[in-house]
A and B are shown apart, each in its own frame.
Chain A
Amino acid sequence: MDMNRRQFFKVCAVGLGGSSLAALGVAPPTAFADQVRHFKLARTIETRNTCPYCSVGCGLIMYSQGDAAKNVAQNIIHIEGDADHPVNRGTLCPKGAGLLDFIHSPNRLKHPEVREPGSNEWKRISWDEALDRIARLMKDDRDANFIERNAAGQTVNRWLSTGFLAASASSNEAGYITHKVVRSLGILGFDNQARV
């Protein structure tokens, strides 16, 4: 990063030469070449989305690199506001304007993992192992603790020993199917971020 002696002399020499020529009123015509940075969105693909943070629901345009050809993994390289959107009209707050760093956060999770009892580390596992193990734990707990009737003999069909916190930014479609599944199991300890 830092200059070594040779670079330093080079810089001085260029500086000296350039300034001298300038001082003498001679500027090379080639130096007038186009120097504005290339516009990076010229051929990107645009996808409409909605900001996942607060409830203003700002419209976004996500720009991804690649032309969606078979051999390309589209990579989102820039996000800005959707100028057509009636609420945000192209604007974004500091969170929305920084969404690129959410998508590409170093802390994005990439693989299912498990932390075993008493352990101090994560262990990578397959999706099948993760879902099979969780389903087994759920069923064992439900079978052991499901309440069909209360003390008064009334039909109540509830499962209280497992709870579920639903998301606050997942889509309606994800929320709908989550509700459908969770209630079919009889779970009542079910809430979302609306409560807090």
Chain B
Amino acid sequence: MTNHWVDIKNADLVLIMGGNAAEAHPCGFKWVTEAKAHNKARLIVVDPRFTRSASVADLYAPIRAGSDIAFLGGLINYLLEHDRIQHEYVRNYTDATFIVKEGFGFENGLFNGYDPNTRSYPDKSAWGYERGEDGYVLTDPTLSHPRCVFNLLKQHYSRYTADVVSNICGTPKDAMLKVWEAIAETAAPDKTMTIMYALGWTQHSVGSQMIRTGAMVQLLLGNIGMPGGGMNALRGHSNIQGLTDLGLLSNLLPGYLTLPSDAEQDYAAYIARRTSQPLRPGQLSYWQNYEKFHVSLMKAWYGKNAAAENNWGYDWLPKLDIPGYDVLKVFDMMYEGKINGYFCQGFNPIAAFPNKAKVAAGLARLKFLVVMDPLATDTSEFWRNAGDFNDVDPAQIQTTVFRLPTSCFAEEDGSLVNSGRWLQWHWKGAEPPGEARTDIAIMAGLFIRLRELYRSEGGAYPEPILNLDWPYLKPEEPSPEELAREFSGKALEDLTDPATGALLVKAGEQLSGFAQLRADGSTASGCWIFCGSWSAQGNLMARRDNADPYGMGQTLGWAWSWPANRRILYNRASADPSGKPWNPQKKRLVWWNGKAWTGTDVPDFKADSPPEDGMGPFIMNPEGVARFFAVDRMAEGPFPEHYEPFETPIGRNPLHPDNPQATCNPAARVFKGDLEVFGKAEEFPYVATTYRLTEHFHFWTKHCRLNAITQPEQFVEIGEALARELGIAAGDRVKVSSNRGYIRAVAVVTKRIRPLTVDGKTVHQVGIPLHWGFSGVARNGYLTNTLTPFVGDGNTQTPEFKSFLVNVEKA
């Protein structure tokens, strides 16, 4: 979230699209009801189903799953056509004035530089800015240059008229226009809309671009950086934000630092490439400090062994030959028999990943699988025959499976990062059952054994293992406090002010923030964005002062928020270019007091940069402003374009009916063998979408009696019209099949899913909740991912769980 949960109460309008906050985040959704009750806010829900969020909405519009870019692209066109944008914001805080290179172009659904053989854009050189002789980007503050971003944006979305969009999305035109008009009202500088989205946007083959389109709408309306505004990703799990922040992804290091590629053999070049220089005069471009963060990380991991002489242990980091070994890639390799060992720490991939048959076949080809979990997961028993739910022959599966019991939240100390980026400490209340241990103890136990084996036997490249710093008082189980202090960071030598020579931090003391980090090896911090969470004052994550003196809901003394306890990102943009809040009555966040930036939140800005210096609010971007034009950073191109889901009910992209290359995401990766098992509408005529229910949490609560009582048995939701057509009554058992398998479940027949008219055809949508499996105290059922396709978003590789094709029959 750019903002945070409580801040939603400051919104004038709430748009829930690509998510279902009432259902998946009920306690956060309270701030929507609060905005409605006490800020006269309106709530709009756009969703394929009339959800529990829709049940309390002022406006609801149905949409065909997977067509959100069209809906939002149409909204962009509407805002531009009707001149309903926040002009001053767009001109000063975005790249609207930037001039794009002459070679950039878009034709028949594809940007320039496409290679159909590799399904990618190998040459993105034209997706950039015109530079002046001084090296800075050329701009046109009058917005009249034909190649300024603003005009290119206008041109790109001019095709997205209300009729075209309604035809793609199936949204009735009157409902759509009502939604667009309500949203347009927040272009007023003193009004804000917040967008709340979740996996309903990420889980598409064009998911990242859906989110970008939403962000572009927010920029046109001047809603980013504002109280009650922002782009708010509602993360799915309690610490998925923290684990992402800590870089537990194939290509990342902590704090959104990135691993080198094979080509980056030279340490200095690796750093230089990530040290982005300002693209406009006077911009902060904070990634200029990349090396400070990187060296401090390597010092936290390798201690004294990381030194200038060995480039801070650069060779000890693995290098990538492809963009990343994401889960789809790894499970494809597993399926091909190229993976021998696999660890699942609190993760249930047989239930969570697409195409269960392929995932299960992959697991059966492993030599060993290690499951660490508090609960008996389906994955840990993938070899067990559970009848039709998991029809396997254990004797044929040669995988050795280890199952290690772990403690749960109630049985350990530590911190979690919520969706609003708050690091919150929690305390242990009881011992774990039986012999269960913490994940920390298990990882330490494995590491110590491996290190001992490499010490005594030698082996392949032992250096990074033997050199890893392990300074913990109990090496077999480091304490959470020691680890928290390590990722926050400390001075390794006395730190002095380079200008005055004054002592800033004594050697061994905790640092107060990332501004103190250095690239000379004198500081250590395991995750620079968490730096300061455990300062010399102690554990700030454990703070419990809930005072809210301004009534804005920022509670700066509660826990600790990254970065630097700032609660709303880009909050400099909540003030006009002269430094005064756009809405001085109700939306005061930060302002220039004549000497410094101050406010109800910690300014996310250089505190002493006066407004007249013109530093932009988007301090992480080298532009200093927000980007409508994504330059070369997105796989599909600089502007989002609507592409059909890989399993499309209409078989063509109505925007580019004559170009089959532009039907589905042209830059999405499709593995060999998966293309063949995409279903076609002739055989699988209905659009299916999967989701969670409020009564359950993924595949955990099927082990909890109280939750099993409230939603005991697997079901699918079918609209009344389709049910009538198929002769299905509520409570009947139905069989839902895709080209990859089938499930059987009870039919919930509902008025809440209505047929839509798309590209001249009637499209029925089917809703499939995902919480059941072949273990647990709830009634056993089929894993929903038996049905889903093995293809991901072109940038993140997040699987397309939200839109695929099925058939439905009475079972």
Contacts and interface: CB of A to CB of B under 8 A. Distances in A.
B344 interface: yes
B433 A53 contact: no
B701 interface: yes
B30 A55 contact: no
Nearest to B558: A86
Contacts of B487: 172-173, 176
Contacts of B265: 154-155
Given A117-B400, A171-B412, A179-B254, A145 B340 contact: yes
Contacts of B353: 196
B565 interface: no
11 contacts: A56-B25, A73-B431, A81-B27, A127-B437, A155-B319, A157-B464, A159-B318, A164-B342, A174-B439, A179-B246, A189-B333
B426 A195 contact: no
B394 A173 contact: no
Contact of A142 (B315, B459, B697): B459
A64 B430 CA distance: 8
A177 interface: yes
A111 interface: yes
A16 interface: no
A191 B697 contact: no
Contacts of B707: 94-95, 98, 101
A169 B558 CA distance: 21
B246 A175 contact: yes
Interface residues of B, number: 168
Contact of A176 (B431, B438, B526): B526
A102 to B, nearest CB: 5
Contact of B397 (A86, A89, A118, A158): A118
Contacts of B538: none
A113 to B, nearest CB: 5
A148 to B, nearest CB: 6
Given A87-B5, A118-B398, A171 B415 contact: yes
Given A181-B443, A190-B250, A156 B345 contact: no
B701 A188 contact: no
A15 interface: no
A152 interface: yes
B429 A64 contact: yes
Contacts of A141: 340-341, 367
Given A142-B459, A169-B239, A169-B409, A176 B246 contact: yes
A50 B241 CA distance: 14
B301 A184 contact: yes
Nearest to B412: A171
Given A57-B418, A158-B319, A49 B410 contact: yes
Contact of A107 (B375, B450, B546): B375
A178 B447 CA distance: 10
A95 B404 contact: no
Contacts of B430: 62, 64, 73-76, 103
A193 interface: yes
A196 B749 CA distance: 29
Interface in B414-435: 414-420, 422-424, 426-431, 433-435
Interface string B308-324: 00000001111111001
A185 B424 CA distance: 30
Contact of B325 (A74, A108, A190): A190
Contacts of A34: none
Contacts of B630: none
Contacts of A170: 239, 243, 345-346, 439
A86 B553 contact: yes
A167 B439 contact: yes
A37 interface: no
Interface centre among A100, A111, A169 (most CB of B within 10 A): A169
Contacts of B450: 135, 138-139, 185
Interface string B347-372: 10100110000000000000110101
B249 A177 contact: no
A118 to B, nearest CB: 5
Contact of A103 (B31, B408, B460, B548): B408
A89 B798 CA distance: 33
Nearest to B1: A55
B454 interface: yes
Contacts of B342: 162-165
Interface string B231-255: 0001111111111111111100110
Contacts of B484: 172-173
A4 interface: no
A167 to B, nearest CB: 3
B135 interface: no
Nearest to A124: B435
A102 B400 CA distance: 28
B600 to A, nearest CB: 14
A71 B556 CA distance: 41
B703 A102 contact: yes
B227 interface: no
A157 B346 CA distance: 27
A50 B246 CA distance: 19
Given A155-B315, A181-B446, A195-B796, A169 B346 contact: yes
A168 B330 CA distance: 18
Contacts of B710: 94
Given A135-B446, A168-B240, A156 B318 contact: yes
A47 B427 CA distance: 6
Nearest to A167: B346
Contact of A173 (B237, B315, B480): B480
Given A53-B238, A165-B347, A173-B414, 6 more contacts: A118-B398, A160-B339, A169-B416, A171-B416, A189-B330, A191-B249
A136 B370 CA distance: 13
Contacts of A100: 706
Contacts of A163: 325, 330, 334, 339, 341-343
Interface string B254-295: 100001001101000000000000000000000000000000
A120 B246 contact: no
B701 A95 contact: yes
B64 interface: no
B243 A102 contact: no
Given A118-B395, A139-B453, A184-B301, A112 B341 contact: no
